């Protein structure tokens, strides 16, 4: 019996037909994008990652030929003589610049242009600069295609001006950019994760416009649910709220507003077997609607379409998955880039 696409193993990659196209990944985290490219038949040569814990995970699970553990600001300044020649003949330069300053939660505008200490590498950085650091790398390496993933908050409000600057920068370094708003639930991923995908082809290649349309049937939470979740503390606030839930409630905030007169714990989501799960975030809490417990690590791994044999070592499973691109999402995008462009 054929397993569903979200139920897979790293060992399955050995059976994927290879077409020889190459990828280098920036801001690689645990390698969600990397696994997507590999599932689509690409060879991922290496990565740039600032976070030592994420780099240990990446090396353990992906065995890169050319790993660079350093800030991208340092990587882009390396002399060409210190870079592998293969990086100057890339099919795709991939990157997911850390994007928390563009999230729609909190007072995001006040974070722009300032240095803050973020979890990414435990370093003080200006995260709104990182996209342009990534494009500096693209200008240096001149890959055939550039792929960058980010949150949908970039096209809301004042952030739209930032997107215009990104698109202008891509054009100035010799690329024709396209911008896609994609929902992973249409791509076989068991969650409604909306993301912006920047895809740019080098001008001299004269590729036609890329078309991305995905209409795969939804995968419900009940389809992937498995394993035992951590029980809610009996008598605790969340436990009490859970017992007051109604079918219309999406999160604990709905319950607290109804019974306590104020919204609290809205980042504690209720997961229903008959619905597609909401976006898996690294810092939110997810509670099963039909039993008083948090979702299991098995649930998290399947929701993010990570492989069942991924070695998380000492890292938190939800953090790694929530910070990553779902491999199945990137696989679908990478397949179309190869089919419509690179295979020609």
8-state DSSP, 288: E
Which pLDDT belongs to residue 106? 44
The domain 10-218+320-342 is placed in CATH, from the list 3.40.50.150, 3.40.50.2300, 1.10.275.10, 3.40.50.300, at: 3.40.50.150
pLDDT score of 125 more than 60: no
CA distance 281 to 214: 23
Q: Which of 321, 315, 305, 282 is nearest to 54 (CA)?
A: 315
| pLDDT 10s digits, 266-318 | 899 999 999 999 999 998 999 999 999 999 999 999 999 999 999 999 999 99
Q: Which of 93, 333, 343, 105 is nearest to 197 (CA)?
A: 333
Q: Which helix (H) or strand (E) holds 335?
A: helix 327-337
Which pLDDT belongs to residue 291? 96
Q: Beta strands 268-271 and 175-183: pairing type?
A: unpaired
CA distance 287 to 231: 9
Contact 213, 183 (CB under 8 A): no
CA distance 195 to 60: 27
> Looking at residues 165-180, what average pLDDT do you find?
97
What residues are labeled active site?
99
| pLDDT 10s digits, 73-83 | 999 999 999 99
pLDDT band with cut points at 50, 70 and 90 for residue 151: confident
Which pLDDT belongs to residue 297? 98
Residue 284 to residues 50, 91, 251, 278, Cα–Cα distance (Å): 24, 36, 11, 11
Contact 275, 220 (CB under 8 A): yes
CA distance 258 to 23: 50
Annotated domain spans of the chain: 10-218+320-342, 228-295
The token pair at 35 is 């696994």
Angle between helices 130-141 and 159-172 (to 10 degrees): 10
Which 3 state secondary structure label does DSSP give 176? strand
Q: Which residues of 96-125 are buried (b: 16+ CB within 10 A; e: fewer)?
A: bbbbbbbeeeeebeebeeeeeebebbeeeb
8-state DSSP, 341: I
Q: Is 189 exposed, middle or buried (0-12, 13-18, 19+ CB in 10 A)?
A: buried
Contact 138, 173 (CB under 8 A): yes
pLDDT score of 319 more than 90: yes
| pLDDT 10s digits, 74-109 | 999 999 999 999 999 999 999 999 865 554 444 444
pLDDT score of 70 more than 90: yes
pLDDT band with cut points at 50, 70 and 90 for residue 112: very low
pLDDT score of 110 more than 60: no
| Most distant CA atoms of the chain, gap in Å | 65
Which pLDDT belongs to residue 325? 96
- pTM, whole model, 2 decimals? 0.92
Q: Which helix (H) or strand (E) holds 65?
A: none
The token pair at 18 is 């290879």
CA dihedral sign, ordered 173, 88, 74, 56: positive
CA distance 180 to 19: 25
Q: What is the dihedral of CA 115, 155, 285, 214, to 10 degrees?
A: -140
Which 3 state secondary structure label does DSSP give 327? helix
| pLDDT 10s digits, 15-48 | 999 999 999 999 999 999 999 999 999 999 999 9
């Amino acid at each position: 019996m054929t397993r569903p696409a979200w139920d897979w193993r790293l060992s399955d990659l050995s059976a994927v037909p290879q077409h020889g196209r190459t990828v280098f990944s920036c801001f690689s985290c645990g390698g969600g994008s990397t696994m997507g490219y590999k599932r689509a038949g690409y060879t991922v040569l290496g990565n740039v990652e600032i976070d030592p814990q994420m780099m240990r995970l990446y090396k353990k699970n992906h065995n890169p030929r050319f790993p660079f553990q350093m800030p991208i600001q340092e990587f882009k300044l390396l002399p060409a003589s210190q870079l592998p020649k293969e990086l100057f003949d890339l099919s795709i330069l991939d990157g997911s610049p850390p994007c928390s300053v563009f999230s729609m939660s909190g007072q995001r505008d006040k974070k722009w242009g300032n240095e803050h200490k973020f979890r990414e590498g435990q370093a003080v950085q200006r995260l709104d600069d990182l996209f342009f650091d990534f494009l500096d790398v693209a200008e240096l390496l001149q890959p055939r295609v550039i792929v960058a993933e980010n949150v949908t908050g970039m096209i809301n409000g004042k952030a739209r001006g930032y997107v215009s600057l990104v698109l202008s920068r891509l054009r100035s370094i010799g690329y024709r950019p396209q911008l896609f708003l994609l929902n992973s639930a249409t791509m076989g991923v068991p969650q409604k994760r909306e993301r912006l995908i920047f895809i740019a082809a080098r001008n001299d290649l004269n590729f036609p416009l890329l078309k991305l349309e995905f209409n795969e049937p939804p995968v419900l939470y009940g389809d992937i649910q498995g394993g035992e979740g951590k029980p809610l503390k009996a008598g605790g606030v969340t436990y009490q709220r859970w017992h007051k839930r109604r079918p219309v409630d999406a999160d604990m905030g709905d319950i607290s507003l109804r019974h306590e007169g104020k919204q609290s714990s809205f980042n504690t989501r209720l997961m229903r077997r008959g619905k597609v799960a909401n976006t898996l975030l690294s810092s939110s809490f997810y509670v099963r609607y039909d039993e008083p417990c948090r979702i299991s690590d098995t649930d998290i791994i399947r929701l993010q379409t990570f492989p069942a044999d991924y070695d998380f070592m000492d890292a938190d499973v939800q953090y790694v998955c929530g910070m990553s691109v779902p491999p199945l999402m990137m696989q679908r995008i990478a397949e179309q880039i190869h089919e419509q462009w690179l295979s020609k």
